[in-house]
């Protein structure tokens, strides 16, 4: 069938994406065809467009997050009724969500509860499942002193809520505009990461203690620079990148280094691990629906403005979550 989709041509700015007709094959037996109603935009989208991807060729359709209804199913997926509302995180090596229709593996769908809008569902998968995977790296969080570096972004914002829900004492870095809201959530201390000596401010608020866990959503280099805040057998979770080399001396604090890569589940996770992740995601969607967890405010644009919205997202740091209505 024919669909309208945004196509990548070569390494360049997001605004260089081209909107044109694309052809979709019938779903394989393990796939479903989603008619997208909303598309979620994420930093990984524009970063991949700028840098390119080893698996991409000209006219690849980018995009990892989307929401919509099931309109066709493969033979092994006919248990899923047509018209079912779903959201999904697409594999980056396949044509993705920047389209009116997307083919998705049937085992990688999140079923959307009635009290969650399609726009909220499209904004959910990448940041929220990333935050959830980060939390799962740590065996004990109750009464632990935890830092979230970059709590103002969509991942850090959701992560902060999950940590507070699990009983952690949460310290964060974020721009000043977010501090009041973060304190209302239950954060112990919020500092502006642009302030000189902000690490000292965190240390002072700990009254001589060291942190048990650091979640860094900035970069691997940033994560490595925060290891001195961790105490014996602490954990550092690098969300945006990986720590390539431990800068600390061996046999000292013995910290554990964790990396997060949500998109890797498409290739490396077992079927049971994927099923568990989807089930966990659906529980989180329920908590969004009943108001227990919240998302960043949504900025909604039309499908024909997708490339410009992605360009704006790249050029301007914002506390809003960009979604596109198809």
Fold annotation for 2-126+263-325: Quinone Oxidoreductase; Chain A, domain 1 (3.90.180)
**Strand 101-105 relative to strand 298-302: parallel, antiparallel, unpaired?**
unpaired
Closest CA to 110 of 282, 240, 246: 282
Q: Decide which of 3.90.550.10, 3.40.1130.10, 3.40.640.10, 3.40.50.720 is the CATH code for 138-259.
A: 3.40.50.720
Cα separation, 167 vs 156, in Å, equals: 17
pLDDT at 276: 98
Cα separation, 238 vs 247, in Å, equals: 14
pLDDT at 269: 98
Number of helices and strands in the chain (H, E): 10, 15
pLDDT at 323: 98
Cα separation, 124 vs 295, in Å, equals: 8
> Which secondary-structure segment (H or E) carries 134?
helix 125-136
Domain extents in the chain: 2-126+263-325, 138-259
pLDDT by 10-residue block (mean), the chain, 326 residues: 96 97 96 98 97 96 98 97 98 97 98 98 98 98 98 95 98 95 97 93 95 96 95 96 91 96 97 98 98 96 98 87 97
Using a cut of 0.75, tell me whether the model's pTM lies above it: yes
Cα separation, 67 vs 266, in Å, equals: 18
pLDDT at 319: 77
Cα separation, 265 vs 176, in Å, equals: 35
Q: E strands, the chain, where?
A: 2-7, 18-23, 31-40, 65-73, 85-89, 101-105, 109-111, 145-149, 169-173, 189-191, 211-216, 230-238, 256-259, 298-302, 321-325
């Amino acid at each position: 069938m024919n669909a309208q989709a945004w196509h990548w041509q070569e390494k360049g700015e997001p605004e260089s994406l081209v909107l044109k007709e694309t052809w979709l094959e019938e779903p394989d037996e393990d796939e479903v065809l989603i008619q997208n109603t909303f598309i979620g935009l994420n930093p990984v989208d524009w970063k991949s467009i700028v840098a390119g991807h080893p698996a991409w060729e000209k006219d690849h359709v980018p995009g990892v997050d989307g929401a919509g209804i099931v309109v066709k199913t493969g033979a092994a997926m006919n248990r899923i009724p047509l018209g079912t509302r779903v959201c999904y995180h697409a594999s980056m090596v396949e044509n993705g969500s920047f389209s009116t229709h997307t083919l998705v593996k049937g085992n990688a769908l999140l079923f959307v509860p009635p009290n969650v809008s399609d726009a909220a569902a499209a904004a959910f998968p990448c940041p929220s499942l990333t935050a959830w995977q980060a939390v799962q790296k740590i065996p004990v969080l109750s009464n632990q002193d935890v830092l979230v570096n970059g709590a103002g972004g969509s991942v850090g914002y959701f992560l902060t809520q999950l940590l507070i829900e699990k009983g952690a004492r949460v310290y964060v870095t974020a721009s000043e505009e977010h501090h009041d809201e973060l304190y209302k959530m239950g954060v112990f201390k919020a500092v502006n990461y642009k302030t000189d000596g902000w690490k000292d401010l965190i240390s002072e608020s700990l009254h001589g203690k060291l942190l048990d866990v650091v979640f860094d959503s900035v970069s691997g280099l940033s994560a490595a620079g925060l290891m001195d805040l961790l105490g014996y057998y602490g954990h550092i979770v690098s969300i945006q990148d990986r720590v390539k080399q431990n800068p600390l001396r061996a046999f000292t604090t013995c910290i554990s280094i964790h990396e997060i890569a949500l998109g890797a589940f498409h290739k490396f996770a077992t079927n049971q691990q994927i099923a568990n992740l989807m089930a966990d995601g659906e529980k989180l969607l329920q908590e969004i629906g009943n108001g227990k967890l919240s998302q960043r405010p949504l900025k909604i644009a039309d499908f024909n403005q997708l490339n410009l919205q992605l360009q704006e997202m790249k050029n301007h740091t914002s506390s809003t979550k960009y979604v596109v209505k198809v």
